[in-house]
Amino acid sequence: MANDTLNPAGPPSPRPGRLNLGASIVVVALSAVPLVAQVDLAGSWARRGQTDNSYSREPVDLMGMPLSEDGRAKALSYDIASLSATERQCQMYTPFYAFTGPFGLQITSEPDPITQKLVAWKIAGWIDRDVTMIWMDGRPRPSKYAPHSHGGFTSGEWDGEALTAVNTHFKLGDIKRHRGMSSDRATLTYRFNRHGNILTLTGILEDPVYLAEPYVLTESFRLDTANTLFPLTACEPIEELPHLHENPALVPHYLPGQNPFMNEATERYNIPLEAVLGGPETMYPEYRKKIKDKYVLPPPCTQGCGGPPPAPPAPPAPTGRGAAPPR
Amino acid sequence: MPYSANAELTEHWDVYKRPNGEEWLTITTEIVDPLYLREPRLVALPFKKEPNGAKWDPTPCSATW
């Protein structure tokens, strides 16, 4: 009945049923058939953050990451405290941070000043993500020996209504909230699809050093016409961990086999360690069958279950005027 | 997450081929539900085309994992 109240002009509610979308309207747009050559990507795009990009709370959770052996070793040696070193606090993340970071995208077009022909699309930087210039003018890619920056070099071309961009020459950095790295030999291929006020970004990250297969993530953004969601603050290093300031030569890390968090996900959720440590197999649904017999359902969840926090302890009984009489 | 009978589901399919010949599909889904959602929910997922149907092995629903 509540549905009828909210949508008095809508069709009558169908009989409820499993896998029944009821009065839903399903529209399928096959964007592989281009209608126009180019799409305007300019605007402020607000991140919706509603696609599961494998966020996790355990410091060692590499499930779903197609890490190579070297990539796994690199991930397990990483100590997030290293980012508290003065010289590292303001270093930029890799361009892949566009998929895993918290902010939206501010995209502008960069025309030639005389001809007004599009030269590049520019994705503005964040406090910790470098600017991305997607060159559309066909300029050559730099030599592989050219200096690498945090943003790297990106060239783009239209594929029907979609913009495909290839990003290289970016520095080593993390690709999943401090739980895995890509090297300075990695390539990130973006695909931008605009559907009205929705922008979907697909990223295919390939790395001959730390990945055994491409790592693919997607994220959707909604046009923010008010342009209210974009942070324009600069990073300033502060003293985060005093012992790093007292000993600037110290670089926090874990030696092989000594990461203290390696077994945390296994102890908490009973997930086999071989799955926690990632690898290409862990990306695919059929991997569940492989570990099925090694998984035992953990006891009922008591921590991080998604429910409301436990009720606070009852306050002490009031005394004085107005207090209830003792029983 | 439940949806009501008045939910609207819109899908955008983007099929593309990579230079190495792989075929990929990104599906963007927008769910509008005036009863259970305060704003539309957006989800996008990538799929890689398998060379054949060898991995397609649907099984009946079971109450156990």
Kindly determine whether residue B9 and residue A292, on different chains, have CB atoms separated by under 8 Å: no
Q: How many contacts does A have with B, using Cβ atoms within 8 A? A: 112
**Smallest Cα–Cα separation from A272: which of A248, A247, A296?**
A296
Complex ipTM: 0.90
First to last CA, chain B: 20
Q: Is A311 on the interface with B (CB under 8 A)?
A: no
Write the CA distances from A186 to A70, A88, A209, integer angstroms: 14, 21, 8
Biggest alpha carbon–alpha carbon distance for chain B:
45
The C-alpha atoms of residue B65 and residue B62 are separated, in whole angstroms, by 7
What integer pLDDT is reported at residue A23 of this predicted model? 40
Residues of A in contact with B3 (CB under 8 A): 21
Kindly determine whether residue B11 and residue A31, on different chains, have CB atoms separated by under 8 Å: no
Q: Which residue segments constitute the domains of chain B, with CATH numbers given?
A: 8-48 (2.10.70)
Kindly determine whether residue B35 and residue A3, on different chains, have CB atoms separated by under 8 Å: yes
Q: Which of B5, B24, B26 sits opposite A13 (nearest CB)?
A: B5
CB-based contacts of A326, cutoff 8 Å, min separation 6? none
Can you give the pLDDT of all 327 residues of chain A as single tens digits? 333 332 323 333 333 333 334 444 444 444 443 334 489 999 999 988 777 776 778 889 999 999 999 999 999 999 989 989 988 888 889 999 888 888 899 999 999 999 999 999 999 988 888 999 999 999 999 999 999 999 999 999 999 999 999 999 999 998 987 889 999 999 999 999 999 999 999 999 999 999 999 999 999 999 998 776 666 678 888 888 888 888 889 999 999 999 999 999 998 889 999 999 999 999 998 899 899 888 888 888 777 676 666 677 777 665 554 445 444
Annotate chain A with three-state secondary structure: CHHHHHCCCCCCCCCCCCCCCCCCCEEEEECCCCCCCCCCCCEEEEECCCCCCCCCCCCCCCCCCCECHHHHHHHHHECHHHHHCCCCCCCCECCCHHHHCCCCEEEEEEECCCCCCEEEEEECCCCCECCEEEECCCCCCCCCCCCCECCCEEEEEEECCEEEEEEECECCEECCCCCCEECCCCEEEEEEEEECCEEEEEEEEECCCCECCCEEEEEEEEECCCCCCCCCCCCCCCCCCHHHHHCCCCCCECCCCCCCCCCHHHHHHCCCHHHHCCCHHHHCCCHHHHHHHHCCCCCCCCCCCCCCCCCCCCCCCCCCCCCCCCC
Hey, of A52, A187, A193, A283, which one would you mutate to test binding to chain B, going by the most B CBs within 10 A of its CB?
Answer: A193
Q: Is A23 on the interface with B (CB under 8 A)?
A: yes
The C-alpha atoms of residue A115 and residue B46 are separated, in whole angstroms, by 38
Q: Which of B35, B42, B46 sits opposite A216 (nearest CB)?
A: B46
- For residue A243, give both structure tokens: 């012992």
Q: Which residue segments constitute the domains of chain A, with CATH numbers given?
A: 43-59+86-223 (2.40.128)
Kindly determine whether residue A31 and residue B12, on different chains, have CB atoms separated by under 8 Å: yes
